[in-house]
Chain A
Amino acid sequence: MELKHKTPMLDQLETGPWPSFVSDLKREAESRKTNPNGIDFQCPAEMPEDLLGVVELSYEHGRTHWKHGGIVGVFGYGGGVIGRYCDQPEMFPAVAHFHTLRINQPSSKFYTTEYLEQLMDLCERRGSGITNMHGSTGDIVFLGSHTPQLEEIFWELTHNINQDLGGSGGNLRTPSCCLSGARCEFACIDTQHICHTFTNEYQDELHRPAFPYKFKFKFDGCPNCCVASLARSDLAFIGTWRDDIRIDQEAVKAYVGGELKPNAGAHKDRDWGAFDIQKEVIDLCPTECMGWDGSKLSIDTKNCTRCMHCINTMPRALRVGQDTGVSLLCGAKAPILDGAQMGSLLVPFIKCEDPYDELKEIIEGLWDWWMEEGKNRERIGELMKRQGFQRALEAIGLKAVPQHVKEPRSNPYVFWKEEEVPGGWKRDINEFRKYHQR
Chain B
Amino acid sequence: MDEEAAKTLIVETLKKKKGKTKFYLKDFYKWLPDEKNRAVKNLVNKMVREEILEYWSSGSTTLIGLKGVGKQAAAEEGDDD
Contacts and interface: CB of A to CB of B under 8 A. Distances in A.
Interface of A: 67-73, 75-76, 78-79, 81-83, 85, 100, 147, 168-171, 204, 208-214, 368, 371-372, 374-377
B81 to A, nearest CB: 12
Contact of B62 (A79, A204, A371, A374): A79
Contact of B58 (A69, A147, A371, A374): A69
A419 B47 CA distance: 41
B70 to A, nearest CB: 10
Nearest to B57: A169
B74 A212 contact: no
Interface of B: 24-26, 37-38, 41, 45, 48-49, 54-62, 64, 72-77
A209 B55 contact: yes
Given A78-B62, A83-B57, A169-B59, A70 B72 contact: yes
A213 B24 CA distance: 10
Given A70-B75, A147-B73, A212-B26, A76 B57 contact: no
A69 B56 contact: yes
Contact of B73 (A71, A75, A100): A71
A170 B27 CA distance: 14
A79 B57 contact: yes
Contact of A70 (B38, B49, B74): B74
A213 B76 contact: no
Contacts of A213: 60-61
5 contacts: A85-B74, A171-B62, A209-B45, A209-B64, A375-B26
Interface of A is mostly: loop
A376 to B, nearest CB: 4
Given A69-B56, A71-B55, A79-B57, A170 B25 contact: yes
A371 B59 CA distance: 20
A68 B55 contact: no
A376 B25 CA distance: 8
A395 B13 CA distance: 32
Nearest to B76: A67
B55 A73 contact: yes
A210 B25 contact: yes
A168 B76 CA distance: 17
Q: Which 8 pairs show the lowest CB-CB distances between chains A and B? A: A169-B62, A69-B58, A82-B59, A209-B62, A170-B62, A169-B57, A208-B45, A78-B55
A376 B77 contact: no
Given A71-B55, A83-B57, A170-B25, A76 B49 contact: yes
Contact of B57 (A67, A85, A168): A168
A69 B25 contact: no
Contacts of B60: 168-169, 213-214
Most buried by A among B57, B62, B74: B57
Contacts of A209: 25, 41, 45, 55, 62, 64
A227 to B, nearest CB: 21
A82 B24 CA distance: 17
Most buried by B among A71, A213, A214: A71
Contacts of A170: 24-25, 61-62
Contacts of A81: 57
Given A170-B62, A208-B45, A73 B38 contact: no
Contacts of B59: 68-69, 82-83, 100, 168-169
Nearest to B23: A376
Nearest to A86: B74
Contacts of A168: 57, 59-60
Given A210-B25, A212-B26, A371-B38, A72 B73 contact: yes
A75 B50 CA distance: 10
A125 to B, nearest CB: 23
Contacts of B57: 69-70, 73, 78-79, 81-83, 168-169
A377 B26 CA distance: 10
Contacts of A204: 45
A371 B37 contact: yes
Contacts of B75: 69-70
A171 B58 CA distance: 12
